[in-house]
Chains A and B, each alone.
Chain A
Amino acid sequence: MSTNNKPKLKTSAMIASIAAEGQRTASAPFGEALLKLAAERPEIVGMTADLAKYTDLHIFAKAYPERFFQMGMAEQLLMGAAAGFAHQGAMPFVTTYAVFATRRAYDFMHQAIAEDNLNVKIACALPGLTTGYGPSHQAAEDLALMRAMPRMTVIDPCDALDIEQMVPAVAEHNGPVYMRLLRGKVPMVLDEYDYKFELGKAKLIRDGRDVLVISSGIMTMRALEVAKELEADNVDVAVLHVPTIKPLDTSTILREAGRLGRLVVVAENHTTIGGLGEAIGVELLRAGVTPQFRQIALPDAFLDAGALPTLHDRYGISTNVMANTIKNWVN
C-alpha cells in the first residue's frame, strides 16, 4: 500500500498557527511594530536566546544589526544581560518562549530586572496552549508566575491589532513588562470592532444581556466567535477583553460583572490556577459582587501533545466546545 493513500495526520509540531482556515491574518505584528517604533526610539535594543526567528525579532535584527544581541540558548544570561543593558540606559526588548522565560529564568527576571524596576520588555512566544509540542513548550502557567512578581506588568494580547498597539504602549510605560506574543501569521480580529489597546484597561467589545465573558488573549477571539454562534440560540453574550492581566482594571470588571442577571464566565488560555479567572474571582469577592461565576481554562495538568485543534477541543477552549459549555450553563 502506498503511503500516499494514508489520510493526512494532524500534527503536534512545535510551530502551528492559531489562525483558523481562511481567517484574516497579519504577518509578524510584533516584529513590524517594533521595527516601526525602533526608528523613533534609538534606546531600543533587541535581545534573544536563539529564538529571533520564532519570535519575529529577526525583522528588527535585520534592520538594526548593531542594536540586536544574540545571547545564545541561555535564558538566565539573557535576562541578566538585559538588566545590565537597561542600567546603561537602553530599553531591551527581550524575546524567547514563554516557558523558558518564566520557568527557567524566573529568578533573573525577579532579582535583576523587577527588583530594580528596569525598563526591560519581555515578549514571549508560545503562551498558554499555543503549541501541541507537549509540556516542555506549553506555558500553561506563565501568567500565574508573572502575576506573582512585584512590579511586573503582564499583558495577554488577543490578535495582531492588540500586538501592534501594545508595542508602543509598553515602551511608553516605565518599568518591566511581560507580554505574551503571537507570532507568524496572527489573526486580525479586533479591527472589526471599535477597539483600541490601552495599557491597564479592560474594554467591552460587545454587549449582551445573558452572559458576560471576561477574557484575555486568544480567548477573546474565541469569545467573540462564541457570541456570534450563540445568537442563533438567542443567547446574548457580552465580551469584556482584559489584555492587561496586571495591573487589573478592577473598576471596569466590577462594573460589568455587577450588572445583574448575567452569568459571568472568565475564559483564559491558561491553567485554572493563578490566572485571570482567579484574579477576577478574588476581586469580585472582595467587592461583594457575586454573580454566577464560571471558568473556562486549561486544567491543572501536564497537557497532552497533539494537534492544536484537537487539544483546544479536548481542553474546552475551542470555539465549538466553549459555545456548547456556555449554552449548557445558561440552560
Chain B
Amino acid sequence: METKTKSRAKLAEHAYRIRRNALLMGEVQGQGYVGQALDIADVLAVAYCQAMNFRPEEPEWEGRDIFLLSNGHYAIALYAALIEAGIIPEAELETYGSDDSRLPMSGMASYTPGMEMSGGSLGQGLSIAVGHGLGLKHKGSDAFVYTLFSDGELDEGAVWEGLMSAAHWKLDNLIAIVDVNNQQADGPSSEIMAFEPLTEKMEAFGWFTQRIDGNDIEAVAAAFDAARNHPEPKPRMIIADTRMGCGVPFLEAREKNHFIRVDEHEWQLALEALDAGRNA
C-alpha cells in the first residue's frame, strides 16, 4: 500500500489551515460547531492530507477511500478539511450555512462534493460503513472506508449493532474514529451515559483498538498508519481523546459546552490566537 508520509510540521500546517477555514466559516454565520471543528482538525488533517486515497478533481472516483461523517453537525470541520484537500474551492467558505449554499450547517450527501452520507440523525454512520466495507470487499476493491462519530453517539443502539457486525464480517477495510471530547447536548458525555472503559469494550467487540491523544498529530498519524497496516482480519477503531476548542486557548478554556458561544468580536481574536499558536 502506498503511504504518503509527511513531517509533523507539514501535517500541523494542514491542521492549522483546517482550523482557520472552520473559524472563517463560523464567522460567516456568527455560529457553528467550531469547538468540535477545532478538536477534530488534527484527525481530519491526517485523514485528508496523508492517509486517504482520493482524487480532488474527481470526488466520485470509484477507487477512492470513503469517509463517512456520522456526526453531521461536524460538517463545518469536514468542509474545512475538504477545502484543504482541494475538493471544495476555498471561495465557497463565505457561503457556509447560507441559502442555496453547497455547505449547509448539517452535512448532507446530496449537497456537497466529498460528503458521503447525510448525518444529523446520529448513530447511522457505522451501519452505513459496514455496508461500504462489505461492498468494497464484494467488488474486490482494496479501498478503505473511514467513519467518524462522536462519543455521544455511543448512546445510540445502532452503533453497537454496527460494532458487532463489523467484527462479525471481519471488515479489516473499516477504520472508525470516535471523537471523545466528552461533550454532548445535555452535558459531559460520560455523565449523560457512562461509556467507559471504551478501549476494553471495543476490544471485547472484536476491534483492533488504539486510544490516542487526538490532538497530538504525530500520534494521530501513527494510529492511522497502524490501523491501515494491522495484519489481523478485524475492523479498526481509533479512540481519539480531544479537546474542544483546541488551538484557540481562550475557547479551549471557556466553560465546556456542546455548542461553544463565540461573540461577534471574538472571531477575529480566535483567528489571531490560532495564528499565535501556529507561530509559537
- A residues engaging B (CB < 8 A)? 45, 66-67, 69, 71-72, 74, 76-77, 79-90, 107-108, 111-112, 115-116
Tell yes or no: B132 within 8 A of A by CB. Answer: yes
Binds A, one of B161-169, B187-195, B226-234: B161-169
> Once the chains bind, are B110 and A76 in contact (CB under 8 Å)?
no
A306 shortest CB reach to chain B, Å: 32
> Once the chains bind, are A80 and B132 in contact (CB under 8 Å)?
no
Q: A66-B138, A84-B135, A111-B121 are in contact. List 20 more A-B contacts (CB 8 A).
A: A72-B164, A72-B168, A74-B165, A77-B165, A80-B124, A80-B131, A80-B158, A81-B130, A81-B134, A84-B128, A84-B131, A87-B116, A87-B132, A87-B135, A88-B141, A108-B124, A111-B118, A115-B108, A115-B110, A116-B117
Q: Which residue of B lies closest to A105 (CB)?
A: B158
> Once the chains bind, are B136 and A77 in contact (CB under 8 Å)?
no
Q: Which residue of B lies closest to A81 (CB)?
A: B131
Helix, strand, loop or mixed for chain B's interface? helix
Q: Could you say which of B62, B127, B162 has the most chain A C-beta atoms within 10 Å of its C-beta?
A: B127
Q: Could you say which of B117, B126, B135, B162 has the most chain A C-beta atoms within 10 Å of its C-beta?
A: B135
With A84-B134, A88-B136, A90-B135 as known contacts, state yes or no: A76 contacts B120, CB within 8 Å: no
In whole angstroms, how far apart are the Cα atoms of A219 and B139 in the complex? 42
Contacting residues, chain B, for A79 (C-beta < 8 A): 127
In whole angstroms, how far apart are the Cα atoms of A88 and B138 in the complex? 9
Contacting residues, chain B, for A69 (C-beta < 8 A): 134
Tell yes or no: B197 within 8 A of A by CB. Answer: no
With A87-B116, A108-B158, A115-B110 as known contacts, state yes or no: A76 contacts B135, CB within 8 Å: no
Q: Which residue of A lies closest to B62 (CB)?
A: A89
- Partner of A82 from B66, B126, B131, B139 at Cβ < 8 Å: B131
> Once the chains bind, are A84 and B133 in contact (CB under 8 Å)?
yes
Contacting residues, chain B, for A77 (C-beta < 8 A): 127, 130, 158, 161-162, 165
- Partner of A86 from B110, B130, B131, B158 at Cβ < 8 Å: B131
Contacting residues, chain B, for A67 (C-beta < 8 A): 138
In whole angstroms, how far apart are the Cα atoms of A17 and B39 in the complex? 57
Contacting residues, chain B, for A81 (C-beta < 8 A): 127-128, 130-131, 134, 165
Contacting residues, chain A, for B121 (C-beta < 8 A): 107, 111
Q: Could you say which of B68, B130, B136, B164 has the most chain A C-beta atoms within 10 Å of its C-beta?
A: B130
A-B contact pairs, 29 of them (CB 8 A): A66-B138, A72-B161, A72-B164, A72-B165, A74-B164, A77-B158, A79-B127, A80-B124, A80-B126, A80-B127, A81-B165, A84-B127, A84-B131, A84-B145, A85-B132, A86-B131, A86-B135, A87-B135, A88-B131, A88-B132, A89-B62, A90-B135, A108-B127, A108-B158, A111-B121, A112-B117, A112-B118, A115-B110, A115-B118
Contacting residues, chain A, for B165 (C-beta < 8 A): 71-72, 74, 77, 81
In whole angstroms, how far apart are the Cα atoms of A115 and B120 in the complex? 12
Contacting residues, chain B, for A112 (C-beta < 8 A): 117-118, 124, 127-128
A77 shortest CB reach to chain B, Å: 4
> Once the chains bind, are A45 and B128 in contact (CB under 8 Å)?
no
B190-246 contacts to A (CB < 8 Å): none
Contacting residues, chain B, for A66 (C-beta < 8 A): 138
A203 shortest CB reach to chain B, Å: 34
> Once the chains bind, are B118 and A116 in contact (CB under 8 Å)?
yes
In whole angstroms, how far apart are the Cα atoms of A185 and B62 in the complex? 42
In whole angstroms, how far apart are the Cα atoms of A84 and B127 in the complex? 8
> Once the chains bind, are A80 and B130 in contact (CB under 8 Å)?
yes
> Once the chains bind, are A84 and B132 in contact (CB under 8 Å)?
yes
A105 shortest CB reach to chain B, Å: 9
Map CB proximity to A onto B161-190 as digits: 1 under 8 Å, 0 otherwise.
110110010000000000000000000000
Tell yes or no: B109 within 8 A of A by CB. Answer: yes
With A88-B135, A90-B138 as known contacts, state yes or no: A111 contacts B161, CB within 8 Å: no
- Partner of B161 from A45, A76, A86, A107 at Cβ < 8 Å: A76
- Partner of A115 from B109, B116, B138, B162 at Cβ < 8 Å: B109
A257 shortest CB reach to chain B, Å: 37
